[in-house]
Amino acid sequence: MYRGSGVNLVLITPEKAIKLVGNDFLRHHLKDSRTGKLSLPREIVCGAGAGLFQIIVTTPMELIKIQLQDAGRSARVNVAANGTGTATKLTAMKIISTLLKEKGLTGLYQGCAATMLRDVTFSALYFPFFAHLNAMGKRRENSNEAVFYHTLISGIIAGGTASVFVNPMDVVKTRLQTIEKGAGERSYSGIVDCFRKVYKYEGFKAFYKGGLCRILVIAPLFGIAQTVYYFGVGEFLVSMTARE
């Protein structure tokens, strides 16, 4: 149940930091100098840019995590099909070493285009939606920031909504990043080919496999991440370090 958790533990923090800070950075530089506000198209561009920044961490993280989570299943499919194969114990370092040896650094970025399609789209939807929801809430005393529970709820709603929308892209990304195929399982030559084959052989519903699980993870994840970010925990820790 916890295969791949170590990879997430190490890389999820820099991934979210890049996403959140990237969005704020772009919003700061693209806002109207006179009004200090952003138009909706610019908000979408800022969100998309944040999603683009994060794939430098997200792609290898997801690639390694998927191999760790899928190792037992693909081996057992081979055993059932032809009596060969074993559930080989894999480690993150073993996967990284093999990919670097066989394909070089680009091996860690297999499925990068599909990851980009998912994360850029997600962020382009999530950040503007979150910003508008968060702006509707009660403000903190002597501050223009929303109270923490409204930020939490806004993150949950925006994260859950965006995750449903991009679930088909996540399904395709996962299929493309699964390196070890079980016996008889289909291979895909790219994003378009994967979309076409999944629809042809499995139907439209296949694009929403795992959708509920994704909502249950992404919604609270972004609610908590945005709340902690808005509390300014990072700024507090940096200021303490600076004083020392």
- CATH (domain of 44): 1.50.40.10
Q: How many C-beta atoms surround the C-beta of residue 12 within 10 A?
A: 17
Q: Residue 156 in contact with residue 220, Cβ under 8 Å?
A: yes
Q: What pLDDT does 74 receive? A: 60
Give the chain's domain count.
Answer: 1
Q: How many C-beta atoms surround the C-beta of residue 243 within 10 A?
A: 6
Q: What pLDDT does 81 receive? A: 52
Q: Is residue 87 part of a domain?
A: yes
Asked if pLDDT for residue 87 goes beyond 60, the answer is: no
The stretch 124-137 carries a mean pLDDT of 93
Asked if pLDDT for residue 84 goes beyond 60, the answer is: no
Question: In DSSP terms, which residues pair with 146 in a beta bridge?
Answer: 139
Q: Is residue 98 part of a domain?
A: yes
Q: Is residue 20 part of a domain?
A: yes
Boundaries of domain holding 206: 5-236
Asked if pLDDT for residue 78 goes beyond 60, the answer is: no
Q: Is residue 178 part of a domain?
A: yes
Q: What pLDDT does 122 receive? A: 97
Asked if pLDDT for residue 79 goes beyond 60, the answer is: no
Q: How many C-beta atoms surround the C-beta of residue 59 within 10 A?
A: 22
Q: Is residue 9 part of a domain?
A: yes
86, with CB counted inside 10 A (0-12, 13-18, 19+), is: exposed
What whole-number distance in Å separates Cα of residue 11 and Cα of residue 60? Answer: 9
| Residue keyed to tokens 């700061």 | 28
Q: Is residue 149 part of a domain?
A: yes
Residue 198 phi, psi (nearest 5): -60, -45
Asked if pLDDT for residue 166 goes beyond 90, the answer is: yes
| Residue keyed to tokens 């990879």 | 7
The stretch 135-141 carries a mean pLDDT of 84
Q: How many C-beta atoms surround the C-beta of residue 105 within 10 A?
A: 9
The stretch 223-230 carries a mean pLDDT of 88
What whole-number distance in Å separates Cα of residue 116 and Cα of residue 54? Answer: 9
Asked if pLDDT for residue 77 goes beyond 80, the answer is: no
Q: What pLDDT does 204 receive? A: 95
The stretch 55-78 carries a mean pLDDT of 82
Q: Which of 10-14, 89-93, 113-117 has the highest mean pLDDT?
A: 113-117
The stretch 142-163 carries a mean pLDDT of 90
User: Which residues are CB-neighbours of 60 under 8 A, at least 6 positions away?
Assistant: 11, 96, 108, 109
Q: Is residue 183 part of a domain?
A: yes
Question: In DSSP terms, which residues pair with 139 in a beta bridge?
Answer: 146
Q: Is residue 154 part of a domain?
A: yes
